[in-house]
Structures are given as C-alpha cells and as structure tokens.
Amino acid sequence: MEYNIGDIVETKKQHPCGSKQWKIKRVGVDFKLECVGCGHEITLERPKALKMIKKKIQ
C-alpha cells in the first residue's frame, strides 16, 4: 500500500490517549506520525511503521 503525507491511518494498538488514528507527517526511510487524538508525534523506521499500520482511512 502506498502512503502519502497527510494520510490518516489506523494502527493495531491504540495510543495511551485512546486514539488509534495517526496522521502521516513524513514518509521515506522513516515515518513521522502525529496522533489525531492528542497531537503527540513519533518517528518510526519504515518496516516498524508498516507493521503497526492496519489500514488507511483517508
């Protein structure tokens, strides 16, 4: 599946704030994701990010 900046994705596990939805801020070797619920940002290696993403919402 192809992911672009601005896409909203759903992860397998939820963030401590209760949200499972993340907005993609950067795509490349690393993914930068922003939690839709609380705004927390994380940077993950591409393989780990692809493994945790369940589906693309928008």
Q: Over the stretch 12-29, which tens digit does the pLDDT of each residue have? A: 999 999 999 999 999 999
Provide CB contacts within 8 A for 22, sequence distance 6+.
8, 9, 10, 11, 15, 33, 34, 35, 36
User: Hunting for tokens 């993950």 — which residue is that?
Assistant: 44
Query: For residue 48, which amino acid is it?
Result: K
At 1 the pLDDT is 79
Centre a 10 Å sphere on the Cβ of residue 2 and count the other Cβ atoms it contains.
Answer: 6
Q: Domain coordinates of the chain in residue numbers?
A: 8-56
pTM, two decimal places = 0.90
Question: Is the pLDDT score of 58 beyond 90?
Answer: no
Q: Any idea what DSSP says for residue 1?
A: -
